[in-house]
Amino acid sequence: MKPDPSAPLIVGAGAIQQRLDDPARADDALTLMRRALEAAADDAGSRALLDAATVLMLPQGTWRGADPAAVVTPWNRTMRTVVADIGVLQQTLVSKACASVAAGEADIVLVCGGEAKHRALRATITGVSASDAAADASPAHAVERLTPAHEIITREEVARGLPVPARQYALIDTALRRHDGLDPRRHVAALADLQARFSAIAAENPDAWNRAGSSAASISAAPMLAWPYTKLHCSQWNVDQAAGLIICSNAAADRYGIAADRRVFAHLGVESNLMVPVTLRGEIHRSPAVAVIGRAVHEHVGVAPADIELLDLYSCFPAAVRVQVAELGIDPARDLTLTGGMTFGGGPLNNYTLQALVRMAHLARATPTATALVTNVSGMLTKFGASVWSCTPPTRPFAALDVTEAATAATPTTSLDPDHAGTADVVTYTVAFDKGEPIQGIVVGETSDGTRVLATTTDAPTMQDMTETDWCARRVTVSGPDLLT
């Protein structure tokens, strides 16, 4: 069957990374993005695609610049630019790009993102300043910004030690451990094994940040950040990485002479933008929105997520992977990442999904009959997105679906009493560390009427006990923000 001329597809996929000790010699994030798009054009076989593109889409990172297109696409003074703020799913940009191409609203769309956090870290360490190209760029392009509708975390979560993502994800993982009936020792071993498997995949990925390989033992022995998470369980964002995608219609690919073996068809983009903070979730170990999206994937492409051949699950922390595995019914023993994950493949802020899509495109071309699923998380396993791709043309037109309403109906919520004084049963817990030392024990509990509490302690013996024994379901006494026993 001849592909639909309007079908959106990736024709170019490029990834760039640099690892220079001298920050003065290193490119800034926006320049890395330009290089990634140039690599994507070379991957497609035509730099004419860059000249003909009319839309640039970027997820906001730590980089600054009122007019990113002035640096990223300096050859085009009329480029329309769309920037998604942090808190907007990266899938939103990809879906918008594909949908605009399918509808004939844009001929060629460039999607890119990147970070130069390693460069910034080296500047701090060496005391050598590193300038940004955007600082000297004169604004010339109209910029549309996409912003999240709600806050990701509550006031109480911020005040009581939970603005750090590792701590929130550790709470989710311990809640899942409790649900699965694992004791803490087996849980630690399972987390280390998962990360070691990811590390082995990163070792085979030419675009991975850390290809050295880490054993399960070394992962467990790394500095603790939020029990049971060590540094090697957590996303590594001090990276200089960028990714670029060129998305166009099948008809445009024909016009520009793009070879058939470069074309990776978009079958589906789907997302849930439901935002429920962790402490207010009726089931902290779950993300029902993931299951809703899994059903949408099955209904649209006719294949369950568990049966899709190429799989990259968003992997900022092990909890994100483990919850998706449970909700999507995926065999946890199979390969769950294409890149090596955000610890080893690299986790540039608000850009990992684009890195994963570059790797997906390259691997999909090597197995043209395979289907690929790439997932995306925003916040503390708050929002969720996914996209389905294949070198085989889709049998149904591309769809960009928003399943927020169905996710809302499927997600139980509860309330939190910030002033509760009395007993509560521990739902989940973690201990935050700094420079190898415990600094705060954090407990999410539930009162007899089902109301949640969030309490903390800095008592050293208590924090030590929390890392050595199982506190799940333990009855504790709290007074507002304070854990007393």
Residue entry with tokens 């495109």: 361
When pLDDT is averaged across residues 365-387 and rounded to a whole number, the result is 97
Q: How far is CA 429 from CA 5, 476, 482, in A?
A: 53, 12, 14
For the cut 80, the answer to whether the pLDDT of residue 1 exceeds it is no
Beta-carbon contacts of 443 under 8 Å, excluding residues fewer than 6 positions away, are: 426, 428, 429, 453, 454, 455, 456, 457, 471, 476, 478, 483
Encoding tokens for residue 225?
A: 């950040």
For the cut 80, the answer to whether the pLDDT of residue 52 exceeds it is yes
Task: Give the Cα separation of 433 and 431 in Å (integer).
Answer: 7
pLDDT the model gives residue 151: 78
Helix (H) or strand (E) holding 360: helix 352-366
pLDDT the model gives residue 138: 63
For the cut 90, the answer to whether the pLDDT of residue 78 exceeds it is no
DSSP labels, 144-208: EEE--SS-SS-HHHHHTT--SHHHHHHHHHHHHHHHHT--HHHHHHHHHHHHHHHHHHHTT-TT-
pLDDT the model gives residue 135: 61
Helix (H) or strand (E) holding 93: helix 90-102
pLDDT the model gives residue 443: 98
pLDDT the model gives residue 139: 66
pLDDT the model gives residue 334: 98
Indicate the pLDDT class of residue 301, thresholds 50, 70 and 90: very high
When pLDDT is averaged across residues 361-388 and rounded to a whole number, the result is 97
Judge contact between 272 and 384, C-beta under 8 A: yes
Q: How far is CA 332 from CA 49, 163, 311, 360, 460, in A?
A: 40, 29, 12, 20, 36
Task: Give the Cα separation of 367 and 371 in Å (integer).
Answer: 9
For the cut 80, the answer to whether the pLDDT of residue 438 exceeds it is yes
Q: What are phi and psi of 79, to 5 degrees?
A: -60, 130
pLDDT digits (tens, 9 = 90+) for 318-374: 999 999 999 999 999 999 999 999 999 999 999 999 999 999 999 999 999 999 999
pLDDT the model gives residue 141: 77
Domain 421-483 has CATH 3.40.50.1100: no
Q: What are phi and psi of 456, to 5 degrees?
A: -135, 165
For the cut 80, the answer to whether the pLDDT of residue 69 exceeds it is yes
Which residues pair with residue 433 across a beta bridge?
Answer: 438
Judge contact between 319 and 284, C-beta under 8 A: no
pLDDT the model gives residue 149: 82
Mean pLDDT, the chain, rounded, equals 96
Indicate the pLDDT class of residue 397, thresholds 50, 70 and 90: very high
When pLDDT is averaged across residues 428-447 and rounded to a whole number, the result is 97
When pLDDT is averaged across residues 296-323 and rounded to a whole number, the result is 98
Of the chain, the percentage scoring pLDDT greater than 70 comes to 99
pLDDT digits (tens, 9 = 90+) for 131-166: 887 766 666 677 899 999 877 899 999 999 999 999
Encoding tokens for residue 76?
A: 């085009």
The SS3 call for residue 393 is coil
For the cut 70, the answer to whether the pLDDT of residue 222 exceeds it is yes
Encoding tokens for residue 283?
A: 């089931």
Ranges of each domain in the chain: 159-234+265-410, 421-483
Claim: this prediction has a pTM higher than 0.85: yes
**CB atoms closer than 10 angstroms to residue 150:** 12
Residue entry with tokens 């290809």: 211
Which CATH number applies to 159-234+265-410? 3.40.47.10
